[in-house]
Structure 1
């Protein structure tokens, strides 16, 4: 694992050479690293330690693979940035730097190092939005992103400093952790500890930065936000909940109520959207609401379903943003009222879009189905009163996924559509590389389901 860090650190020097093969080399290196990690997937639940507090287990290893996989697809989807020469060197540097930050954050056993790289990942994301966004509103989107996430992260820093002072250890894998001695402060301390992760996921009521950031970001920014940055919140929440399980159980009810009702409200908002990227962004809030509820139940099925949902959502949502960008390149609009009739021009692309929509609504045989079954079972085990909410969430997920598909693929084709923008091998390759893991992992889902054994 340490060799991979050194390899990615060396890739930071790649943009200095200004080679015409910059796009190809950076993309090939990321996908090659992904295949190396897949081939060396651990067979046991033992923890593999390396120098510099780097470790891997069944929880962070799939997320590390997802980091390199999505990073390679980000570069593949951003070919127009290199073709139009929109500062491709700086663009590549930011993606590689973000890739390295996420890798260290996921694999660090030092809780302070985890926090530093947890926050450091915001900087290249902000530059991607400000530098390569299309609309003037990207300044407001960047402002929302920083204010929400940084403000919520400061209490987490205070909590980490308190924990290290009480326990004399920075190690995530420390066997015994001590909480505040004053019992009536325990809930307040735990609340401020997990607020940063709730905002990052995001929990409904703290979600306003997400649609703005997604809509104004370039395709690479949207893919990294949906595919990886939202998973930082889920990963941190699982790690802390694994250390302090009783604290999450004490505040279970309000968080499940807010996340489930938030998933319903955002599902209804999706049915009223006319912007493709905004619809996909709001759907992410509903999926992450199920992850929050599953983690807070403190059950084995909830935690395993959460990690599987994060992998499934990272692939499906990233692919949805990629195909939305391909449609934008053809129509020069994200409006559902303008992007019409694509099925008559590109039936193969329409089939891939349908498979993505089916995965987004958790249809078989995608891993989204397995993850939702696990999450819904854990949520129902905490309270049978959540059954009506879960039924409505499942119905709305299918409704807005089909609404997005039908709105873009059916209808009469507009005269100013540029069909050749969609007819590229790059678009087909990007979608295929997203779809293959979604439908193949279910054949070996135990590698993600048994990380607690």
Structure 2
């Protein structure tokens, strides 16, 4: 009942937040932070009670919705989804803590949007029914659309919100058609039941493309990545953290769970296509990041590069490649979230994200610069951090699959060093352009879990690999590449 408990706490938390008087802003913040913190603590019990020796789904919840049509809401956690759930429950209390000084008249709607997003995201990562996965996969667009469109920081926020909504919704219409076809073909949308059904090679290819249209926009892959920089620039800091830390993982998770799990032959067939798009995305967005003048837009392009690198790992067809891709996704959730929070600290003080506005912060904000340097190093894959483990193993698996692909993928480390170190150099050193105060206690506490998580994952990654190994090894498509 642990998974049910998490969902019930969040649902009751949203209902309780509705009835709190609107003038009680401080209490609403404390209440929302308490709910999300409680959910995070109990999500750790999923890990503690998780049986690592079996690939089967655990903590299963089965709710009869339409038994006459053989459609039920089935939730469960395996080694693949476990850490995505924990990452989600960790990021949301940090976002609410980062929004502590975010002062708007309708703060209640803002908090309800974030709690709703957390509830929906947990349902997405634990869903074992294709139809309900599609419903919750699309439902998460609504609260994020409100966060960007209402609470964005600039005049283009409405345009950015619509780009985010329409780009991701349009591709998902093809996935809906695919889900309908699967139901008519098999009479079920249950993932475990569908895993035992063999689709023809022809059907697999068309269904793979239908799902690809949806998941590629969420990753995002070229050329459907245009919405991401716009959404990041216009969203508030907490919105950018959710976008980079969690929402970008929906695409890679969808590929791993459904495209690769249900359509193995098509996945092998389209591997060169995925490699080509991913490598183009890695190189193009890394080069584009170097020339950016807006801090958020720069980090947004680096996120596209890192997630396209994850796609290469997923399609190497090896256990080590998939495990490295999952670890790199989790690492990106820590590091990119921290980088957007760092930008948020600067924006809260001086309300500017233009790179040339800053300089010489080493002299006035030493603690801030130390944390900024740590996550800059983590972003370019310094040994001892989580990114190094994921990238190294990912490149090893890519080398086994395709040496040329590995070569171009490895350029991401060089280009990553270029944009990361150049950005840090411009902000930390040089003449003192502005004078400000260092991190407050609240801001320091905000970064502490991300620092600990990044170091822990980099120094002792085996604790993560051991939990996901059984589920990854059991994937039906893995043998097709051998």
TM exceeds 0.5?
yes
Which of 43, 60, 71 is the equivalent residue of 2:92?
71
CA contact (8 A) 1:340 1:414 kept: yes
Structure 2 SS opposite 1:169? coil
CA contact (8 A) 1:26 1:92 kept: yes
Structure 2 SS opposite 1:206? coil
Q: Residue 345 of structure 1 corresponds to which residue in structure 2?
A: 364
Q: In 1, Cα distance between the equivalents of 2:189 and 2:107? A: 38
Q: Does 1:61 align with 2:82?
A: yes
- Superposed displacement of residue 275, structure 1: 0.6
- Superposed displacement of residue 188, structure 1: 3.2
Q: In 2, Cα distance between the equivalents of 1:36 and 1:364? A: 31
Structure 2 SS opposite 1:333? coil
Q: Does 1:299 align with 2:309?
A: no
RMSD of aligned C-alpha atoms?
1.5
CA contact (8 A) 1:215 1:278 kept: yes
Q: Does 1:257 align with 2:276?
A: yes
Structure 1 SS opposite 2:292? coil
Structural mapping, 1:20-35, within 5 Å: 20-35=26-41
Q: In 1, Cα distance between the equivalents of 2:168 and 2:261? A: 23
- Superposed displacement of residue 177, structure 1: 2.6
CA contact (8 A) 1:204 1:262 kept: yes
Which of 276, 288, 308 is the equivalent residue of 1:289?
308
Q: In 2, Cα distance between the equivalents of 1:376 and 1:91? A: 40
CA contact (8 A) 1:327 1:339 kept: no
Structure 2 SS opposite 1:4? helix
Q: Does 1:17 align with 2:20?
A: yes
Structural mapping, 1:6-405, within 5 Å: 6-15=8-17, 16-18=19-21, 19=24, 20-41=26-47, 42-44=50-52, 45=54, 46-48=56-58, 49-52=60-63, 53-81=74-102, 84-174=103-193, 175-179=195-199, 181=200, 183-184=201-202, 186-240=204-258, 241-405=260-424
TM-score, length of structure 1 as denominator length: 0.95
Structure 2 SS opposite 1:21? helix
Q: Deviations over 1:92-117 (max 9, x none)?
A: 10000011000111111111111100
- Superposed displacement of residue 242, structure 1: 2.1
Q: In 2, Cα distance between the equivalents of 1:207 and 1:384? A: 26
Q: In 1, Cα distance between the equivalents of 2:444 and 2:382? A: 22
Structure 2 SS opposite 1:325? helix
Q: Deviations over 1:317-337 (max 9, x none)?
A: 111111101111222210110
- Superposed displacement of residue 443, structure 1: 4.1
Q: Residue 437 of structure 1 corresponds to which residue in structure 2?
A: 453
Pick closer, same or farther for the CA change 1:163–1:386 going to 2, 3 Å: same
Q: In 1, Cα distance between the equivalents of 2:462 and 2:271? A: 27
Q: In 2, Cα distance between the equivalents of 1:176 and 1:40? A: 27
CA contact (8 A) 1:331 1:338 kept: no
CA contact (8 A) 1:14 1:22 kept: no
Q: In 2, Cα distance between the equivalents of 1:177 and 1:377? A: 33
CA contact (8 A) 2:10 2:39 kept: no
Q: In 1, Cα distance between the equivalents of 2:308 and 2:319? A: 18
Q: In 2, Cα distance between the equivalents of 1:312 and 1:431? A: 15
Q: In 2, Cα distance between the equivalents of 1:427 and 1:434? A: 12
Q: Deviations over 1:22-64 (max 9, x none)?
A: 2122113212322222244113234211233111111111111
Greater shift in the superposed pair: 128-137 or 239-248? 239-248
- Superposed displacement of residue 384, structure 1: 1.1
- Superposed displacement of residue 184, structure 1: 4.5
Structure 2 SS opposite 1:79? coil
Greater shift in the superposed pair: 203-212 or 432-441? 432-441
Structure 2 SS opposite 1:13? helix
CA contact (8 A) 2:395 2:410 kept: no
CA contact (8 A) 2:367 2:439 kept: no
TM-score, length of structure 2 as denominator length: 0.89
Which of 4, 7, 28 is the equivalent residue of 1:5?
7
- Superposed displacement of residue 205, structure 1: 1.1
CA contact (8 A) 2:75 2:128 kept: yes
Q: In 1, Cα distance between the equivalents of 2:405 and 2:127? A: 36
- Superposed displacement of residue 263, structure 1: 0.7
CA contact (8 A) 1:340 1:408 kept: yes
